[in-house]
Structure 1
């Protein structure tokens, strides 16, 4: 058995460095504050009701409510404290569920008949992005951002030394980040039906009958696969941003290109996206189950013209 190598320069770092500090009894300051407020409320209720309500009933209610408050203070759901999770649930239930990109505060015209019952009006849709440039930079309220598309690496097929080298390279890239960076890993449906139709339409152009038969069989296989399964593809996007006070220019684009070069050392294929690719990525993130429009979308500030009409003979 080979002796495990030990690197004297390598130290262990806890994974919960962002966890709040424990103040007393294994509880954080937030948890202690919730329990302290509940204790003050219970004490005030006891002072006001112990002469009017039986003691047994007050103690039973205190035990039940105390257990609820304690569970609210120490439990978590979806990685968030339970009190914040319930607060978010209340805000979500009271917020409008319909959003509109137009102005929803305009008065209703006189010729529109007002509904008798109260109807929830849509709220204005406020997106963080204002525009997407030709170079792929996204204009935000506090700066700019850019996207990088990258492939993945299967660490299970690498040796221990290769895995360690890849992790070290990835760690160096993470340590080099000085601005907020987002890594988005999503699964999107693959449209095999269009590929099957394209193969079936172009099969007759092949010179050899056996090639035409093989192309037709492959088209039928893709069509059957699209009919019986829901194939997905994995997409990895990295969003780089600039500092709030940083001069705009092409800073976000340069950060995206630096990120692509840094990730190339991991053995992945990474490239900074241009305006059309960023627009398609944002549209796919908003509605992943709708295929993109044929021909794409026009870039900002692009003059859209129609083809010139031929003069009549």
Structure 2
């Protein structure tokens, strides 16, 4: 019976179609090209310098070259091949660490102004804009919607209920026909504001017993917050429209691009609602984020802990100035 239960807890998911194909001996075409280039270089060094350099010295020179080629071809860092990681590091070192928000390239200062260091580089965020319906327009083309999901007490369920949850989640994963990213965020939470709110409202209670219980609960929250580092967990599901991203129109055809964004927005919103319904069957509460919630999530992800930007006025709303008392 235990073997049967363990078998029911596993669900087959299709392999990653973006993973490069294995050509020979479990190696990809890129790895074979790197190893072939390394072997050709080593052979050229042996043929060219074997009559001029002693054999031990030639081996001492060739052996690190061969080892470096094997490491570059096989080793990986942060799920990235070393050659691509080195290229990304080189691009990062060549760029300026300071970014500014400009539409075009950063203009150099006049000739009479002496400048130390390099010019800042334009800030390019992956999200171009957040629509009123909460759909994000991506800078590289395409659109995306964000679904915020809750969690379930998986370990408290019985073996049959756990198997049912795993099977239901597997069916939802198998039903996906577009790229989906599941992001789990853990952020520190401060209970001091909640404790102060309870303490302030406790005096409004008519029953002294309830007032004393509220004060004790506020003291308990303050004690828990001071004794432990509390974290709140948030699960975000980002659903994108691969069709609109692959068929993005050129930048000069702004009207055609806007039509593509509108069509893609309807697609991702429908897929987001389907994800909410599929997760509701598993007992997971989920919701599609609107424009305000999506903006708050982006701001929190880009700069955790910093205050969120103020609400922007709608296109047809009046911009007013509010004076603090």
Change (3 A) 1:217 1:178: same
Where does residue 91 of structure 2 map in the other structure? 91
Pair 1:132 & 2:130 matched: yes
Where does residue 257 of structure 2 map in the other structure? none
After superposing the two structures, state which structure 1 stretch, 134-143 or 252-261, moved more.
Answer: 134-143
Where does residue 34 of structure 2 map in the other structure? 34
Residues 1-313 of structure 1: matches in 2 within 5 Å?
4=4, 19-102=19-102, 105-108=106-109, 113-115=113-115, 118-141=116-139, 142-242=141-241, 243-244=243-244, 245=247, 247-248=263-264, 250-292=266-308, 297-298=311-312, 300-306=314-320
Change (3 A) 1:6 1:80: closer
CA displacement, residues 191-217 of structure 1 (integer Å, 9 cap, x when unaligned): 322222222322322223333333333
Does structure 1 conserve the Cα–Cα contact (< 8 Å) formed by 2:182 and 2:236? yes
SS of residue matched to 1:288 = coil
Does structure 2 conserve the Cα–Cα contact (< 8 Å) formed by 1:276 and 1:299? no
**Higher helix residue share:** 2
SS of residue matched to 1:183 = strand
Does structure 1 conserve the Cα–Cα contact (< 8 Å) formed by 2:178 and 2:240? yes
Change (3 A) 1:292 1:211: farther
Q: Distance in 2 between matches of 1:13 and 1:251?
A: 24
Question: What is the RMSD of the two structures over their aligned residues, measured on CA atoms?
Answer: 3.1
After superposing the two structures, state which structure 1 stretch, 171-180 or 215-224, moved more.
Answer: 215-224
Flag structure 1 segments of 5+ consecutive residues without an equivalent. Answer: none
> How many equivalent pairs are there?
302
Give the alignment's TM-score, normalised by structure 1: 0.83
After superposing the two structures, state which structure 1 stretch, 27-36 or 146-155, moved more.
Answer: 27-36
SS of residue matched to 1:97 = coil
Where does residue 250 of structure 2 map in the other structure? none
Flag structure 2 segments of 5+ consecutive residues without an equivalent. Answer: 248-259
After superposing the two structures, state which structure 1 stretch, 179-188 or 206-215, moved more.
Answer: 206-215
CA displacement, residues 164-217 of structure 1 (integer Å, 9 cap, x when unaligned): 222222122122222222211111221322222222322322223333333333
State the Cα distance separating 1:46 from its structure 2 match.
Answer: 2.4
Change (3 A) 1:102 1:224: farther
State the Cα distance separating 1:269 from its structure 2 match.
Answer: 0.3
Change (3 A) 1:39 1:305: closer
SS of residue matched to 2:221 = helix
